[in-house]
Amino acid sequence: MLNKRQERFAEEFVKTGNEVQSALNAGYAETTANKMARRLLDNVGVREYIAELNDKIVDESILTAKQAMRRLSDIASGNLKEDVVAFDPESGVFKHTEKSTDHSTQVRALSEIMKRYPLPIDINLNTPTEIKLVANFGTGDAEEPDDE
């Protein structure tokens, strides 16, 4: 179990990455901060707490699959705006403008979405393809028709 200063050191170290500054911020004396920082980083409990804090940061910053799909959907539909900075030679200043995603980016987003929802048959988009499905409304199932 860690004491309050050890916990504070670990928390500061995760924020700053600077061992001596973390020791000072945790309340260790300036004359012993360097030595204490080394000792603290050698302490198994402190290292485990630092790893735990880092894991928590990573877990909180990673998108869930649902968030990623929402972002791809926003890109594909053109709802996501991006900030574009351009130099205006007439006024001599940089101007910020918002623009929708371009078509090629929207198509790539749609492609990424469709990878997650594959069609039941292979379709070559470069050649005309005829797809025939017969819906059976009694069960809600769809079947391929018999060849005629």
What does the pLDDT look like over 60-90, one tens digit per residue? Answer: 777 777 888 888 888 888 888 888 888 888 8
Give pLDDT tens digits for 74-130.
888 888 888 888 888 888 898 888 888 888 888 888 888 777 665 555 556 666 666
Q: Which residue has the tokens 């061992």?
A: 19
Structure confidence at residue 133 (pLDDT): 57
CA 145 to chain centre: 43
Two tokens at 118? 């594959």
pTM for this one? Answer: 0.46
Is the CB of residue 11 less than 8 Å from the CB of residue 53? Answer: yes
Mean pLDDT along residues 123-147: 57
